[in-house]
Amino acid sequence: MSVIYEPRGRAREYAPLACNLYVGCAHGCTYCWAAAFAVKQGLVQSRAEFHASPRPRLGVLKNFAREAEALGAAKDQRPVQLCFTTDPCQPIEAEHHLTRDALRIMAENGLRAQVLTKGDAAGLGTINKLAWRPDNLFGASLCSLGGEGLEEWEPGAISPVRRVAGLAKAKDLGLTTWVSLEPTIWPARSLNLIRVLDERVDCFAVGKLNYGQPPEPVNWAEYREAAVALLEAQGRERVHSPGDTRPGERTYLIKHDLEAA
């Protein structure tokens, strides 16, 4: 089985290629679909194990290097996302450096990288490792700038303030920046993120809450319309995937689940 794969379903809206470097994630997000998926696949015994005992994926870098070399030889410029079923910048990255090494391998083979994280990408050096080409994408997952209830949903993630600081650093380095507003737990907070981060974010990806119940009922169609109006008022063009965004462009995408709601 290839470690660099073509995502399907909801994930395909984010990236055409991806690699999951770790098994498990210490961030412990209560809305995490990957924990249930890992249990179903037999990778862990329980959601608790998924969050409490993340580990490197066995042999992943060796296979990643081989597959990256093949993609480079084929001049494949589709972005490779790190990661979908785990976070590339969770605390164990400081010990194992899988994300750092994967980015080095991508640079050596001329590949385009796309990162999405709730972790300390700045402190771990991940953002600096992306700086070899401006169309590499650095993304942060955000559902609020703070406020009541956030720690119940994302108990192990770094603070939104630090995630925003990471976006600012990436922007200063000339990288293409993006934010995943999925899940949306508090629509008003997500809309506020679009307003506040306008100058720091090249692409917003807007979705809904698919795993769990929001604190209050949400009219998803109303939220979608408000988000689109705000994003287009900022002069953004609609795209199918964050990777469609090139340096200097301002874009957004609406995830299929929200579009259909």
**Residues β-bridged to residue 5:** 18
Average pLDDT, whole number, for the chain?
97
Q: Is residue 107 part of a domain?
A: yes
Looking at residue 135, its pLDDT comes to 97
Q: What is the residue type of 11?
A: A
Residue 3 lies in a domain: no
Structural domain contains residue 247: yes
Sorted by sequence, the CB contacts under 8 Å of residue 29 that are 6+ apart come out as 118, 153, 154, 155, 156, 157
CB 44 within 8 A of CB 56: no
pLDDT at 36: 85
What pLDDT, on the 0 to 100 scale, is given for residue 41?
Answer: 87
Q: What pLDDT, on a 0 to 100 scale, did the predictor assign at position 43? A: 86
Query: From the first residue on, what is the mean pLDDT of each consecutive set of 10 residues in the chain (261 residues)?
Result: 92 96 97 89 90 96 99 98 98 98 98 99 98 97 96 97 98 98 98 98 98 95 99 99 97 98 94
Q: Which domain holds residue 206?
A: 9-260
Q: What share of the chain is helix, strand, coil (3-state, %, to 5)?
A: 40, 15, 50
The single-letter code of the amino acid at 143 is: C
Query: Does any domain span residue 195?
Result: yes
Amino acid in position 80? V
> What are the pLDDT digits (tens) for 38-97?
888 888 899 999 999 999 999 999 999 999 999 999 999 999 999 999 999 999 999 999
- Please name the amino acid found at residue 45: Q
pLDDT for 15 equals: 98
Q: Report CA dihedral (47, 51, 56, 61) to the nearest 10 degrees.
A: 80
Structural domain includes residue 2: no
How many domains does the chain divide into? 1
Q: Is residue 129 part of a domain?
A: yes
Tell me the CATH number at 71. Answer: 3.20.20.70
The dihedrals phi and psi of 231, each to the nearest 5 degrees, come to -65, -40
pLDDT given for residue 38 in this prediction = 87
Question: Computed from CA positions of residues 149, 206, 131, 82, in that sequence, does the dihedral angle turn out positive or negative?
Answer: positive
The tokens describing 35, both together, are 């924990």
Residue 1 lies in a domain: no
Q: Where are the beta strands (DSSP E) in the chain?
A: 17-18, 22-23, 55-56, 80-82, 113-117, 137-141, 176-181, 203-206, 237-238, 251-254
Residue 250 domain-assigned (yes or no): yes
Peptide linkage before 183 cis (omega within 30 of 0)? yes
pLDDT of residue 80: 99
